[in-house]
Structures are given as C-alpha cells and as structure tokens.
Amino acid sequence: MYLKPLGLTDSHLNYLNKNQLSIDHLGRIVKQNHSKFTVKMRFNDILALVPGSLKYSIKNQVELPSVGDWVIIKNKKESTPYIKTILPRKSIIKRKNIYKLNQEQAIASNVDFGLIMQDIKYDFNLNRLDRFLTICYASSVIPIIILTKIDLVKKTTINTCIKKITERFQDIKILMLSNKSLEGFKEVKHYIKRGKTYCCIGSSGAGKSSFINNLIGEKVMLTKSLRKKSNKGQHTTSHRELFILKNSGILIDTPGIRELGISIPNYNLNFTFKKIFNIGRSCKFSNCNHVNEPNCEVKNAVKTGAIEQSLLDNYHKMHNELTMQQKYKKIRR
C-alpha cells in the first residue's frame, strides 16, 4: 500500500530527505496494545517495540509513541523491529495522566480534526463540550461536534440542543446522526476528506465505535449497550486504533474518557470561552478574573443576558482547576 491514503505529506518526505532516511523505513502507528505498536508501512504492517533507550530518554510520557505518529523503524526485517524515531508531530491530542498527575498522556498524534461525540439523549452536556473543545484547541486540532442517537429523541429536542450549542459557540460545525437509522451519514461523509486524520473523542457509550463501524461498513470495533441503570457506556473500547477509509479520510477510535482532566496553559481557555474573552477585554482591569472586580464587563454581560451564567461558572471552574495544576507543577519541579 502506498502511504498517501495514510496521510503522508510533503513535510514527511522533506524530513526523510533532510535526514537521509529511506521511505522504506517510514510507517504510521495504527494501533497500540500495551508496549506493542502496529505500524503500517509501504508494503506491510509490522509489530514494533519501543526500545529502553527511547523510554528512558524522555521527560514526559507524552513524548512516547502514540497512535497516529509517523515513525522510523529499525530492524524491519529481523525478529525485533523497533521504533527508532518519531517524526515531528503536527498536533497531539493529550490529556492529564490520571496516574501520574504531573505528566500528560497522548491520546493520538497528527490529527487534523477532533470529532467530539455526544449522545444527544443521555450525554448532552455543555460543560463537557467546553472540556473537549479545550482539549482540541490546546492540541491544534479543529473541533467538529457530532450529536449521536438522534433516532432516540424528538425533532424538537434536537433543535433545542443545537440552539444551546450555537448560543454558546458561534463558529463550530455541528453534525448529527444516528448509528441505527444512518440518518445524517451523508452529510458527515461530506466532511471527511481524503488524507486527513479525524479522531473520535467523547464519553463512553457516545457511539464512537458504532460510527467507525458504519463508516467502514464492517464491524471493525466492538460495541456494547449502555448500562441499564445509569445509561452510561461500559468502557468497551480499551485501545486506540486508526482506520483508513477507502477513498476518504483516516479515522481514530479512542476509549471513552472517564475523568476529563485537562492539562494545558490557561490562555487556551480563551478559544473555548471566546465570548468571555472578547467581552472581558473591556473590563476595567486587564487581568480581571470576572469574580468581584469593579467595572467587570463580563459580570455586566451576565446581567443583561449576553453571557449565560452557566458559561461563566464553567469558565471559573476550569480556570481554577488549571491554576491549581500550574501551582502543583511548580511545587513538583
């Protein structure tokens, strides 16, 4: 197989040229299972390991190879192929490592679009959208919101949800679909472009794996019904995997995220909370926290209804979380 459908670009070829490397050693990680990586190369797939030298030379877990990375493989024809180098990443979707709090964890690399998926019936939540959007913006990934399971709700519910999202975020594409009736797939397919990489993120049970199965037209990922009592997903997908759609884009499935720890510098919140950021520029103090400072235009906007109280509340919550994290990082240094 040639590498173009896998997302190969001129920048990868330039890197090879500059470093006098052969394209025969280049591949893209399509699957990770513990310490083993499946790497798609020009003519075949190989199973590669990460050598100790790479593991011990890194400062942060996020520097370890992840699904979506372009890598150089050594010992390709021998029994122990290994990942020698990771090519510079165009983007990296990452989250807080829930086991090592001062570290980050890569979800997927070299992603162009983040498909934020929410089950419209049981999972619709604006505050959670804020978090997923922040992850996308902090990763240099363009977000697209996909509401799933529209077969389970009335048209009026769909319209209300769309209205709530568009009131909060003005310039984000919103798509909706049903994995059961396949309504909405025609439009979704229109947004999936050849050679571009799309990463599905969202809570467990949102329908990420069902979506990928439907796009591929075959059951490549296992799916499971929601838990009866809580209507929450069962954390069915436990690994990340990349799929190439025929004559179309590249899709990455990820496990549903349990605790959405964000791990980014504060300024990135300005993209998610653009409304607050724009109005906040007129506050009396340039470093206004919009809590109880005098002449705070953001607080005024809440009074007039131009900014929703719930938006400001979530901004404060996420802002405080990030500030605490920065302090914690400084202490650990």
Site residues, Mg ion (CB under 5 A): 208-209, 236-237
- Segment lying near ligand GTP (by CB under 6 A), choices 8-16, 38-46, 59-67, 203-211: 203-211
296 touches, from Zn ion, Mg ion, ligand GTP, none (C-beta below 5 to 8 Å by class)? Zn ion
- Segment lying near ligand GTP (by CB under 6 A), choices 10-18, 20-28, 202-210, 309-317: 202-210
Number of residues counted as binding ligand GTP (CB under 6 A) = 26
Taking the CA of residue 270 as centre, how many other CA atoms within 13 Å lie in the half-sphere pointing to its CB? 11
Binding mask 130-149 for ligand GTP (x = CB under 6 A): ------------------xx
Please, what is the minimum distance in Å from the beta carbon of residue 30 to ligand GTP? Answer: 17
- Segment lying near Zn ion (by CB under 5 A), choices 144-152, 155-163, 260-268, 281-289: 281-289
- Segment lying near Zn ion (by CB under 5 A), choices 5-13, 83-91, 198-206, 278-286: 278-286
Indicate which single residue of 42, 128, 164, 180 sits in contact with ligand GTP (rule: CB under 6 A).
Answer: 180
| Token code pair at residue 126 | 């604006």
Q: Which is nearer to Zn ion, 247 or 287 (CB)?
A: 287
31 touches, from Mg ion, Zn ion, ligand GTP, none (C-beta below 5 to 8 Å by class)? none
| Nearest-5° Cα angle at 322, 319 to 325 | 150
Q: Which is nearer to Mg ion, 237 or 272 (CB)?
A: 237
Restricting to residues 240-279, which ones interact with ligand GTP according to CB under 6 A? Answer: 255-256
Residue 283 binding Zn ion, by CB under 5 A: yes
Number of residues counted as binding Zn ion (CB under 5 A) = 5
Q: Which is nearer to Mg ion, 3 or 201 (CB)?
A: 201
Residue 298 binding Zn ion, by CB under 5 A: yes
Indicate which single residue of 39, 116, 252, 288 sits in contact with Zn ion (rule: CB under 5 A).
Answer: 288
Amino acid at 114: G
3-state SS record for the chain: CCCHHHCCCHHHHHHHHHCCCCHHHEEEEEEEECCEEEEEECCCEEEEECCHHHHHHCCCHHHCCCCCCEEEEECCCCCCCEEEEECCCCCEEEEECCCCCCCEEEEEECCCEEEEEEECCCCCCHHHHHHHHHHHHHCCCEEEEEEECHHHCCHHHHHHHHHHHHHHCCCCEEEECCCCCCCCHHHHHHHCCCCCEEEEEECCCCCHHHHHHHHHCCCCCCCCCCCCCCCCCCCCCCCCEEEECCCCCEEEECCCCCCCCCCCCHHHHHHHCHHHHHHHCCCCCCCCCCCCCCCCHHHHHHHHCCCCHHHHHHHHHHHHHHHHHHHHHHHHC
Indicate which single residue of 9, 103, 122, 151 sits in contact with ligand GTP (rule: CB under 6 A).
Answer: 151
Which positions touch ligand GTP (CB under 6 A)?
A: 148-149, 151-152, 178-180, 202, 204-210, 223-226, 233-237, 255-256
